[in-house]
Amino acid sequence: MKGEAPGALTSVKRSLFRHPAVIAAGSAALAVLVALNAAAFVLGLQAPWLLGAVLIADMLVVGAGILIAVREVLLTERRSEASEEQLGAIVDSAMDAIISVDARQRIVLFNRAAEEVFGVRRAEALGSPLDRFIPARFRGAHRAHIEQFGRTGVTSRRMGDVTTLWALRSNGDEFPIEASISQAGGAGERYYTVILRDITRRKEYEDALKASQRELRELSARVLEAREDEKARIARELHDELGQLLTALKMDLGALRERLPQELQPRAAEMSALLDRTVTSTRRISADLRPLMLDDLGLADAAAWLVDDFAKRSGIACRIELPEDFPQVSKPIGTAVYRAIQESLTNIARHSGARSAWVALAVADGALQVEVEDDGRGIAPEDLAKAKSLGLRGMRERVAFLGGALEVARAPRGGTRLRLSVPL
């Protein structure tokens, strides 16, 4: 049988007795034998020698036919066994575990990789139910899945496209797998074949990566929170202490102007104007760092002031839409949304070339939803992927940490539209 392995998948049709010349010679000999049988039947006892010769020839032909038939059957069985051995060797050489079950989900094929994955010998696995390799809590769902798959008529598909599949080793340990299933056979007997792979190591790497990303996101949030606290502290000191000092200085200068001679009055007026500009700049810097109304009055008033101030500074017409019953939001949400609106308006002023902009805040489905849109030139897809787009990245990190989502795309008016949603 080993000598026939290279041709193990060869059909029986390659037998010598299927050669056209052999078939033609056999047909001619059979025709002669039929003619001799007819002559012997006609002459009967008048030619006993012919009758005896025909009987001997018939027996030889029948014996030869039996020998040929037996030989063909033996060769067919040998070739079939060799084909099965070669197919088994191919299946055993696969790196993934391969398991086939019948309609009753009894195991009929169990390759070497499956032995290593599940820790059980093939002889012990064959004939046993597939449930032994499935955690108890998933067995009912698995059976229903297989039955549904059998009714669909689909030949193959991947299993567990959304969720992770779990299997059970012989020692009781559960482990994650990646699997695909196929079916074959008719209505009488159907077989299901599952090709699966142990993804324990990959799952550990993925979980470690997710944990690392979560830690980095939390660290980023803490850094942003500390930054906002520091901005708030500096803004309040600018507004309260420096603002009060400048106001006091202005009052002293006003009192001093009344005692100055006439020739020094223009210089005093210039100093008073400079103090006014300094107070205005201090208030602007304080508001840019952290608007105190965001903490004192809430997000709605802070956003309205931000839009109004943006329109005055940039010359771009900007309108904000706020619901009448806008709720009070937590400080992290208020800060994240305010900074997102601020960053969006800054980008509009710098890059869009827009003439108008719109900001809308709403509450729906338990989430705060924000849209910022302009009618400018729009943002290009390659700009979204730039490594230096730290503003957009910062917005995404803020919103993602709060469990929300942010989307930047082309607007119907031709400009750019930013949408974000943060659960309340």
CATH number for 370: 3.30.565.10
The answer for 398, left when phi > 0, alpha when psi is -120 to 50, beta otherwise, is alpha
Mark whether 22 and 86 lie in a shared domain: yes
Nearest CA to 170 out of 123, 200, 125 is that of 125
- Taking the C-alpha atoms of residue 31 and residue 253, their distance in angstroms, rounded to an integer, is 139
Decide: 236 and 285 in contact? Cβ < 8 Å.
no
Decide: 285 and 263 in contact? Cβ < 8 Å.
no
- Taking the C-alpha atoms of residue 360 and residue 420, their distance in angstroms, rounded to an integer, is 11
Ranges in the chain, pLDDT < 50: 1-13, 387
- Taking the C-alpha atoms of residue 68 and residue 74, their distance in angstroms, rounded to an integer, is 10
Mark whether 220 and 326 lie in a shared domain: no
Nearest CA to 303 out of 327, 334, 332, 272 is that of 334
Mark whether 347 and 373 lie in a shared domain: yes
Helix (H, G, I), strand (E, B) or coil at 420: strand
Mark whether 303 and 403 lie in a shared domain: yes
According to the model, what pLDDT value does residue 7 have? 40
Mark whether 328 and 420 lie in a shared domain: yes
According to the model, what pLDDT value does residue 387 have? 45
Percent helix, strand, coil in the chain, to 5, is 60, 20, 20
Mark whether 400 and 301 lie in a shared domain: yes
Mark whether 193 and 207 lie in a shared domain: no
According to the model, what pLDDT value does residue 327 have? 83
For the CA atoms of 280, 282, 286, 288, what is the dihedral angle to 10 degrees?
60
Helix (H, G, I), strand (E, B) or coil at 169: coil
Domain edge (last residue) among 229, 257, 290: 290
Domain edge (last residue) among 236, 264, 290: 290
Mark whether 181 and 213 lie in a shared domain: no
Q: For residues 131-157, b (16+ Cβ closer than 10 Å) or e, as one string? A: eebbeeebbeebeeebeebeeeeeeee
The tokens describing 309, both together, are: 């101030």
Mark whether 98 and 122 lie in a shared domain: yes
- Taking the C-alpha atoms of residue 239 and residue 235, their distance in angstroms, rounded to an integer, is 6
Decide: 356 and 376 in contact? Cβ < 8 Å.
no
Angstrom CA distances, 281 to 78, 238, 239, 277, 299, stand at 98, 10, 11, 6, 23
Beta-bridged to residue 156, according to DSSP, are 182
Mark whether 214 and 139 lie in a shared domain: no
Q: For residues 215-230, b (16+ Cβ closer than 10 Å) or e, as one string? A: eeeeebbeebeeebee
Per-residue model confidence as pLDDT tens digits over 144-172:
888 777 777 666 566 655 567 888 888 88
What sign does the CA torsion over 274, 275, 280, 284 have? positive
pTM: 0.52
Domain extent for 80: 2-92
The tokens describing 212, both together, are: 């690392």
Mark whether 101 and 177 lie in a shared domain: yes
CATH of the domain at 174: 3.30.450.20
Domain count, the chain: 4
- Taking the C-alpha atoms of residue 142 and residue 132, their distance in angstroms, rounded to an integer, is 12
Mark whether 302 and 424 lie in a shared domain: yes
Domain edge (last residue) among 290, 316, 346: 290
